[in-house]
Amino acid sequence: MTFFLSYWAFLVPVFSACVWLAMLIAMLATWSVQGYPHYSSMDETQNIAYISDVGAQGLKPLFVSMSAVTVVSFDLVFIFERWLRHTGRLAYNTSIWQKIYSALSIIAAIAGGAGLILLSVFDTVHHPRLHNYFLALFIGGYIVSAIFICWEYQRLGIHFRQHAVLRISFWIKLFFILFELALCVAFGVSSNQRKWNVAAVLEWVISFVYFFYVLSFFIDFLPALRTKNHRSGATQMDMARMEAGANGDAAANGGRYYRGQSDEAPMVEANTNGNGVHPGYPKPEAVPASRNF
């Protein structure tokens, strides 16, 4: 199973994103082909329909089913990522806190996904109040999930600085957090000021940004394609960090694992001065590890 996931897991976020994009395009195209009708759920001064306005009409089965497929497949992305990181196909967690961040991101994503399914079921025509609550759960859940993912990747990036994909994914998700927060604030202000057309446009933009966010997860699985029979970048020193720093992010007693040496009997090679340094050569200075991401 691990071998299969290593080579095909990156397609899951692509599939999930494509399902979501297809749903948005279908709903937008339907509203356009129908001549931009004014639905019963729209305000009298509103000319641009919300996604929920279109989804509450004849396209509700499409809205519910494709939202559910998007949620289930996207939740699988988090589960697969957790498994591949646990098995070493991706950069493994070096502390218990990183695992906690990962678990919290999964929980928040499941909550956000539940909000998406529920808001599609409880449409804005028959359940406007519940619909708004679930909309907030949907957006808030995925933003919180992205925050914990960024937190986990930032800590991973300290120990696996050679993995550029961690930095790339970190910045993509950080951009999503900041951009979505700005859009959500603008959406809330526009709604409170009863600027329904502006709010409707912002809702469509938020939904398309969500498409790119889901799609970006395929980047996280790319390192697994290059790890067939070994751990991702695992070395004795890295294993020492994971074991000795199980409750933190710092490596403890790292010298014990350096070149196979142990505390009990340090190896002294021939033609050295007892410090592992050839006579006549100065002892190299230790370079402190960078703590920046």
8 Å CB contact between 209 and 181: no
Q: Could you tell me the residue ranges of all domains in the chain?
A: 2-226
Range scoring the smallest mean pLDDT among 29-43, 115-129, 216-230:
216-230
Tell me the average pLDDT of the chain: 80
Q: What is the pLDDT of residues 145-191, one digit of tens each?
A: 999 999 988 888 777 776 778 888 889 999 999 999 999 999 999 99
Q: Is 145 exposed, middle or buried (0-12, 13-18, 19+ CB in 10 A)?
A: buried
Between 265 and 37, the more confident residue is 37
C-beta of residue 39 within 8 angstroms of C-beta of residue 49:
yes
How would residue 3 be classed by pLDDT, with cut points 50, 70 and 90? low
For residue 182, the model assigns a pLDDT of 96
